[in-house]
């Protein structure tokens, strides 16, 4: 069953998309996604270390009891035009978001 946060985000997305003109502005879409993402902050016990990989922004994210010799590489969707560390850090941790 989706979380209440997931339901709220989906409702917001549907309303946002329905309210946009046919020629949606990419900058406005990016800003809207940043605002939407701020509604789902990450848990307080999660640590985030910002870094760059060959000039590309990236993050090391760790939860309590992290096994330090193992990593999980996550590449979010967005068709290479939408999303960044801020927009996908917390949202993708919400069960049932997609």
Q: What is the pLDDT of residues 44-85, one digit of tens each?
A: 888 889 999 899 888 888 889 888 898 888 777 776 678 887
d(CA 98, CA 95): 8
Average pLDDT, integer, range 3-11: 83
Q: What is the pLDDT of residue 51?
A: 92
Confidence of residue 9 (pLDDT cuts 50, 70, 90): confident
Confidence of residue 94 (pLDDT cuts 50, 70, 90): very low
φ, ψ (nearest 5 deg) of residue 67: -90, 115
What is the residue-averaged pLDDT of the chain? 79
DSSP readout, 51-62? EEETTEEEEEEE
Q: Do the Cβ atoms of 49 and 38 come closer than 8 Å?
A: no
CA angle 15–21–22, rounded 5-degree value:
115
Q: Do the Cβ atoms of 63 and 33 come closer than 8 Å?
A: no
Point out which residues pair with 47 in neighbouring strands: 62
d(CA 79, CA 81): 5
Q: What is the pLDDT of residue 92?
A: 45
Token code pair at residue 15: 């309303």
């Amino acid at each position: 069953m989706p979380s209440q946060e997931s339901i709220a985000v989906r409702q917001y997305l549907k309303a946002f998309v329905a309210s946009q003109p046919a020629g949606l502005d990419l900058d406005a879409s990016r800003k809207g996604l940043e605002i939407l993402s701020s509604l789902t902050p990450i848990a307080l016990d999660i640590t985030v270390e910002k870094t760059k990989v060959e000039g590309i922004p990236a993050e090391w994210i760790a939860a309590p009891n992290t096994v330090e010799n193992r990593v999980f590489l996550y590449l979010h969707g967005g068709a290479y035009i939408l999303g960044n560390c801020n927009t996908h850090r917390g949202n993708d941790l919400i069960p049932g978001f997609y």
